[in-house]
Structure 1
């Protein structure tokens, strides 16, 4: 397994994403000064040396409803000008759309500069000046509702985006059990430049340069077949089959050794907290299913074969470093002086596998210490968690009170 670490290029990553998403604009600071001005008291120019990071689903909201005391928590932090960031493995919408929705649900003013979702770092791949620049390459975007993720990808700067709906509408025989009625409204004609002169044969010849799973796929069967075809293809040409597959004289027995597209996942969450009383499978479930099919076809680890993929989202080191960089950026407001060192960050989450593991494992290049706090309002419901937090509390309000007490802040008014 290849894990994509963003930490080696944190400065480039942060600046390029902020440019592509128009984050931290001066007008944003004027519109939401209380969100970004972070000194504890009005006569103290420096921000506190601590901050909070919150998961969203299962911590602040559940399905489309705000959880009890979520509004109170964020309002308290904004009133006392304590910095925080929303760090979620969710996605499927633009940052602006999601922030507007959260602002309404939680009844607090929020801004994109304090919000990172799982696929936010994908924007860097459309602005990278190195070998991974995919701006004008053909990108297959998988997952999400309708064509929303396509539009997000285009907003990030990708100029040649296709979806499974485009492909299956053009080539219905690719998957015989598809419901074309669902896909047709979101399909676009495939660009002619993506095809060869052999298109008259009736076989798809689209060349895909990268596969990006933006959000939970809605049609696992179609998406699994399509991604598998590309991973076994010649150079990402759909409808082809590489002769290198299974060659014992090649690395990975020849699999993914013939110019096939890179495979990116925006997060590895196996479960997430929805409106149902038990956790539901997330993008990590699709990843496991796809890997299981790939292993069944190739022989998998017992045959010396691994599925090469690049992972984003919690608990990866790169995602936590990106979040920390974002926190450092908005702790200082122009003309208000330096913010000082960020010494502690309290990560509040409901998922031991992503939130708690990520905070526990993260090693800040600047020495900040991340403290993991597990709440009972989402995925975790009891028992010994797979990754142990510093503390387990009932909800997000209790989590903030714990952090404030650790920092020596008087919590009488927060009881």
Structure 2
């Protein structure tokens, strides 16, 4: 009988959400001018909503500018809530600012792997592996993980672990610079004898074949490739999108597709089913955390609100989730419940004429500009 994978989704309904961006209050107050407190907030997906590849779409620059005052001060608290990633939030904020023509704070960027910060206390000083496009090890290092290696670097310490590496016509950044790496950057721990205590899929992997092989080695051996079978180390995925909208006209396979491939192989060669924890939208934790960040952004500009003793009341009448993927953005907002209101655009994964059948949004629009126009008219904030 074939084993089935077990997925544990982190729940936080019975506890206060973790504020992943503690600096948000101070930075936001520096930009905020005096104005009437906003009763709503907005969370924008990125790929397929405001950008396609690196090109703004759907009138996104114009739409975002309407959320700022003439002086450049932010009028409406908003964040980017994306399952994408691979680079630190600070660098993503700079990139978004350049592409969209508005100033974006790092605290306004919540990526799929941002939730990995919640695991720092558990793995801060443990050997961990991070894989995905971009710089997954840098992302984890900036979160505070002290013994994290990219899968690229980790695999380079095991001779012949990737049996087809000689046929690959590309080299990784680590491989091309490994020989000139300063001695003080060489890990102070023994990579070939220490067990990996956790593996993180930070963003979409680049070399699926190599990553599946090495992850199977790590996960089936108790954290040490080549060793006897052992208890599987924890495996964490930043998100589980099967598809997403990139620069190519049709959808591209995402992290969820890689998870399915890894699961299928692992379950065929190992007696126990793959066990993993999945973060990212539509996980309820993500929306609870987004709400907390938006609340912090909003309350920072109103001292009376902070000190009036009414912090138990909900500060927002409505929180808008604008996304292009019904199975991720809309499903997540609907599961989160009040005060979330879901808006589905037709510029990304969803292209339907009518609403999505399984996860219908509260509103379907053609573009993000149309979504923002609807919100501002509804909230009388034009």
TM-score (norm 2): 0.86
Q: Does 1:393 align with 2:329?
A: no
Q: Aligned with 1:277: secondary structure? A: coil
Give the corresponding residue for 2:18.
Answer: 13
Q: 2:336 aligns with which of 362, 378, 399?
A: 362
What is the rounded CA distance, in whole Å, between the counterparts of 1:329 and 1:73 in structure 2? 23
Deviation of 1:78 (Å): 2.1
> Where in structure 2 are the equivalents of 1:130-209 lying within 5 Å?
133-145=122-134, 148-178=135-165, 179=168, 181-182=171-172, 183-185=174-176, 187=178, 191=187, 193-195=189-191, 204-209=192-197
Give the corresponding residue for 1:101.
Answer: 95
What is the rounded CA distance, in whole Å, between the counterparts of 2:363 and 2:267 in structure 1? 38
Higher relative contact order (CA 8 A, sep 6+): 2
RMSD across aligned positions (CA): 2.4
Q: Does 1:82 align with 2:76?
A: yes
Give the corresponding residue for 1:110.
Answer: 104
Q: Aligned with 1:78: secondary structure? A: coil
Q: 1:220 aligns with which of 191, 194, 208?
A: 208
> Where in structure 2 are the equivalents of 1:3-402 lying within 5 Å?
3-7=8-12, 11=16, 13-14=18-19, 17-18=20-21, 23-24=23-24, 26=26, 28-29=27-28, 31-33=30-32, 42=35, 44=36, 46-48=37-39, 50-79=40-69, 81-126=75-120, 128=121, 133-145=122-134, 148-178=135-165, 179=168, 181-182=171-172, 183-185=174-176, 187=178, 191=187, 193-195=189-191, 204-233=192-221, 235-242=222-229, 258-298=230-270, 306-334=273-301, 336-338=303-305, 341-363=315-337, 368-382=338-352, 385=356, 386-402=358-374
Deviation of 1:335 (Å): 5.3
TM-score (norm 1): 0.79
Q: Aligned with 2:296: secondary structure? A: helix
Deviation of 1:222 (Å): 0.6
What is the rounded CA distance, in whole Å, between the counterparts of 2:333 and 2:65 in structure 1? 24
Contact 1:263 1:310 in 2 (8 A): yes
For 1:78-123, what per-residue CA distance to the aligned partner results, in whole angstroms no more than 9, with x for missing partners? 2381221110011001100000110111101111222211111112
Contact 2:29 2:301 in 1 (8 A): no
What is the rounded CA distance, in whole Å, between the counterparts of 1:181 and 1:88 in structure 2? 29
Deviation of 1:338 (Å): 1.1
Corresponding residue pairs, total: 355
Deviation of 1:169 (Å): 1.9
What is the rounded CA distance, in whole Å, between the counterparts of 1:12 and 1:83 in structure 2? 18
Give the corresponding residue for 1:245.
Answer: none
Residue segments in structure 2 that go unaligned for 5+ positions in a row: 1-5, 307-313
Contact 2:28 2:300 in 1 (8 A): yes
Contact 1:10 1:322 in 2 (8 A): no
